[in-house]
Amino acid sequence: MTSIVRNQWYVAAYGSEVGRELFARTICGEPILFWRTESGEVTAMSDRCVHRRFPLSQAPSRLEGDTVVCGYHGFTYGADGGCVAVPGQSRIPRTARLQSYTVVEQDSFVWIWISDPSNPVEPDATRIPRAPWLDSPDYTVVRGMEPLQARYSLLVDNLMDLSHETYLHGGYIGTPEVAATPITTEVDEDAGVIYMTRHMDDAECPPFYSESTGIEGRITRWQDVEYTPPCLYLLHSRIAPVGVLPPETGPDSDAFHVEVVYAITPETEHSTHDFWSVARDFALEDEGVTDFLRENNRTVVLQDVVALDLLETVIAGEPEGYQELSINIDAGALAARRLLAQMVKRSTSSTAPIG
């Protein structure tokens, strides 16, 4: 039984990863080839020649103008995936066509529509969730992508329960208050969004923020999570000296804002692309702060990678029907599991569009 939701938009890559070199990535179990046309548009098509299944991303396959030439027998494809040349004959078989994918570049990402072949739904680009900070002059961004040898639901669990910051990321981003402070959780069933809030009024300032903001002493620290399953996770983080609250009107300029964005894209049933970006609205030009945040955020992500890869091997070795125990802090993660299970069910059983 698959746990991957289809008829959905997923982040396939950062726009900057795709250029005039053949680029391959497996998304939801499908090997996909990406390249930019000479006019700069991203194209996506199956990374498997229709003839003898050679991966078109592999040398000596090559890009020639706006066509891709297979490195095995020379089958040649255009930007729409249609075959334009085959060896030894001039007639091109009518069915010689690579599956092509709908892609949209937005907010620094290449989004791709992964459909369910047994129940195809037309992609609707207006439903792609937004992360405008990643592509805005008002923010400075550090980012990366770490491959996880773990199912995507383990990353969802991880991000939906930030109490782990206190333990797994102690000394970086966690302090005792994160685990100690209860959360509130809300689910917008119609929009398919989960909201989680943890407001710490008087908390220790972790090195991650003291170093980057320059705040000395204790802080007011807000974590507002907004998860649009399956792919886009936003953590709106507000840091200010204790007692400094947003003004009734006007900009919240006495606080520091960090927009943490994760895109969670299944590579296969048991591996995941973990795209992470951190946008800040302060010290925009300060290279030292940029380097510090890039380095430290990557360290924190890699702590998660180690833990989640380990959990995947634990699951692989455990008896069937093993039961976890959940507590109050798991409300958000459990809501996410419920929505995802509904989406898997819907994507494989009806023709209704899925939010």
Closest contact distance (angstroms) between CB of 136 and a copy of itself is 34
> For residue 24, what are its two tokens?
């391959």
Q: Which residue, chain included where needed, has tokens 């069933």? A: 189
Closest contact distance (angstroms) between CB of 50 and a copy of itself is 4
Instruction: Say if CB 140 and CB 290 are below 8 A apart.
Output: yes
Rounded CA-CA distance 354/226 in Å is 18
Task: Between 180 and 191, name the residue whose CB sits nearer to a copy of itself.
Answer: 180
> For residue 169, what are its two tokens?
């990321």
Task: Between 279 and 301, name the residue whose CB sits nearer to a copy of itself.
Answer: 301
Rounded CA-CA distance 172/35 in Å is 38
Task: Between 49 and 103, name the residue whose CB sits nearer to a copy of itself.
Answer: 49
At residue 183, the 3 state secondary structure works out as: coil
Closest contact distance (angstroms) between CB of 222 and a copy of itself is 16
Closest contact distance (angstroms) between CB of 239 and a copy of itself is 21
Closest contact distance (angstroms) between CB of 128 and a copy of itself is 27
Sheet strands (E) in the chain: 8-14, 23-27, 30-36, 42-46, 62-64, 67-69, 76-78, 83-85, 103-106, 109-114, 140-148, 184-188, 193-203, 219-228, 232-241, 256-268, 271-280
Task: Between 163 and 277, name the residue whose CB sits nearer to a copy of itself.
Answer: 163
Which residues here bind a copy of itself, judged by CB under 8 A?
A: 29, 31, 48, 50-55, 58, 60, 69-74, 86-89, 93, 95-96, 157, 161, 163-164, 166-168, 170, 179-183, 307, 310-311, 314-315, 317-318, 322, 324-329
Task: Between 182 and 250, name the residue whose CB sits nearer to a copy of itself.
Answer: 182
